[in-house]
């Protein structure tokens, strides 16, 4: 799955917070000089971050496979099944609030170890759960995987701001490519295992062993930048909570891609091809995560994110005229690129708004906490709109209008400043 998160702000907002006094400007900007661009520690942390996002957000991008299997096996309705995936995403984002705070306090490694244990344990519990007993799947896959992933994902992205200054957007974009890599690897892996003699239980366990190995490597690679913690300034939560545009825009979320594989199959696409739609979407997201990051370092993240939102609106509404195999595959590619750009740009946008490097973790956490609520209700609402007759026009309209409203909000804010 490619999920979209949005965070609002402007580079100008940061400038308005600073007094014309050169002394105050120097005070606000001097802590950033503690950061470095490059070096062994920074590059290892970047690689570790890629592995973290691959097995957390990347694995959650494969929930469309579970959504398809659970729904077509009549284990539960589409809406009830989507509650599992949306709960997982809610905790993946919402746990960013305590995890981000722990990052700012210097407990990155402790958080990563605890999150890794919870995540791998829960994945093995999914393999033991009976798919026809809803609460077992919900607790293991919704709550367990969500909480474990939440302790890992946000710090893996936010810590990059402690290591990179000039190339921060690029570094964060590279880290977030893990969500695409996982979204390519795991849907193909799970589909092939589930439909083979391996079956569901051992298919999930096989993916759990892969996740375990990658997390071991990631925990050795990723680390904080000690120089950031040397400064005594502490983040002021009130300043973040009263940043109303930032809080409202963080709520934006759409999960149509939960249903992409199901959409393709119900529109007559060969199942052997439909099984690859999620992987195609996430593969297309790779350039969408890297190129916008490079442009954002030159032009500013908010300059790039506004037109990408408009593109996303266009692609969503284009689904009204798409019902053929070629059209669905084209949508997967284009939507993957645009949504990939969102995932890249949201992190540097939030980092730009941070007054001090020690605020980055908390600001990320608050933003993703708000995003979690959008994730929690988005897919179940789409599932309820689909019902048993699958009128796809309803969730398409809801998603398109929601993202269009977000575009207007971004555009209005940019015009004001």
pLDDT tens string 123-138: 999 999 887 888 888 9
Bigger pLDDT: 121 or 32?
A: 121
C-beta separation of 165 from 35 below 8 A? yes
Percentage of the chain exceeding pLDDT 70: 77
pLDDT tens string 228-284: 555 555 666 666 666 665 665 565 555 667 778 888 888 888 888 888 887 888 888
Phi-psi region of 387 (alpha: psi -120 to 50; beta: other; left: phi over 0): left
pLDDT tens string 144-172: 999 999 999 988 988 887 888 778 778 88
Bigger pLDDT: 79 or 268?
A: 268
Distance CA(404)–CA(396), nearest Å, equals 12
Q: 0.75 cut: is pTM over it?
A: no
pLDDT tens string 322-356: 889 999 999 999 998 888 887 777 777 776 776 66
The answer regarding whether domain 11-18+37-229+236-416 maps to CATH 1.10.3720.10 reads no
Would you state the pLDDT for residue 20? Answer: 40
**Is the confidence at residue 63, as pLDDT, over 80?**
yes
Would you state the pLDDT for residue 4? Answer: 43
Would you state the pLDDT for residue 54? Answer: 94
**Is the confidence at residue 312, as pLDDT, over 50?**
yes
> SS3 of 367, please?
helix
How buried is residue 242: exposed, middle or buried, by Cβ count under 10 Å (0-12/13-18/19+)? Answer: exposed
Q: Label each residue of 191-220 as H, E or C.
A: HHHHCCCCHHHHHHHHHHHHHHHHHHHHHH
C-beta separation of 392 from 263 below 8 A? yes
Q: Please report which confidence band the pLDDT of residue 2 belongs to, taking 50, 70 and 90 as the band edges.
A: very low
Cα Dmax for the chain: 70
Distance CA(326)–CA(169), nearest Å, equals 34
Would you state the pLDDT for residue 273? Answer: 86
What are the boundaries of each domain within the chain? 11-18+37-229+236-416
Phi-psi region of 9 (alpha: psi -120 to 50; beta: other; left: phi over 0): left
Average pLDDT, the chain: 78
Tokens of 153: 């994902």
């Amino acid at each position: 799955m490619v999920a979209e998160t949005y965070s609002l702000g402007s580079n100008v907002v940061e400038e308005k917070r600073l007094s014309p006094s050169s002394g105050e400007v120097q005070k606000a900007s001097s802590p950033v000089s503690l950061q470095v661009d490059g070096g062994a520690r920074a590059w290892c942390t970047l690689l570790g971050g890629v592995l973290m996002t691959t097995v957390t957000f990347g694995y959650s991008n494969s929930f469309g496979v579970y959504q398809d299997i659970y729904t077509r096996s009549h284990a539960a309705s589409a809406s009830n099944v989507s509650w599992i995936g949306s709960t997982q995403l809610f905790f993946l984002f919402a746990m960013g609030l305590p995890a981000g705070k722990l990052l700012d306090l210097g407990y990155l490694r402790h958080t990563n170890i605890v999150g890794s244990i919870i995540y791998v344990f829960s994945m093995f519990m999914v393999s033991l759960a009976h798919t026809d007993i809803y609460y077992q799947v919900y607790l293991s896959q919704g709550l367990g995987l969500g909480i474990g992933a939440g302790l890992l994902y946000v710090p893996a992205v936010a810590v990059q701001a402690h290591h990179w200054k000039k190339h921060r957007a690029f570094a964060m974009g590279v880290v977030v490519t893990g969500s695409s890599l996982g979204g390519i690897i795991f849907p193909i892996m799970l589909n092939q295992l589930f439909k083979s003699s391996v079956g569901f239980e051992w298919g999930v366990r096989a993916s759990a062993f892969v996740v375990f190995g990658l997390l071991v490597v990631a925990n050795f690679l990723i680390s904080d930048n000690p120089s950031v913690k040397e400064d005594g300034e502490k983040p002021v939560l009130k300043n973040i909570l009263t940043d109303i545009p930032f809080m409202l825009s963080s709520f934006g979320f759409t999960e149509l891609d939960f249903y992409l594989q199901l959409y393709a199959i119900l529109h007559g696409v060969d199942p052997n091809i439909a099984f690859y739609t999620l992987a195609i979407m996430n593969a297309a997201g790779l350039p969408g995560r890297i190129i916008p990051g490079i442009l954002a370092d030159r032009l500013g993240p908010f300059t790039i994110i506004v037109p990408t939102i408009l593109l996303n609106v266009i692609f969503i509404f284009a689904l009204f005229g798409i019902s053929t195999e070629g059209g669905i595959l084209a949508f997967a590619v284009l939507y993957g690129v645009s949504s990939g750009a969102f995932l890249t740009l949201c992190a540097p946008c939030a980092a730009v708004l941070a007054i001090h490097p020690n605020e980055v973790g908390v600001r990320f956490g608050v933003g993703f906490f708000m995003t979690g609520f959008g994730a929690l209700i988005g897919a179940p609402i789409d599932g309820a709109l689909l019902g048993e007759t699958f009128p796809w026009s309803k969730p398409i309209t809801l998603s398109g209008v929601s993202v269009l409203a977000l575009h207007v909000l971004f555009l209005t804010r940019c015009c004001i400043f």
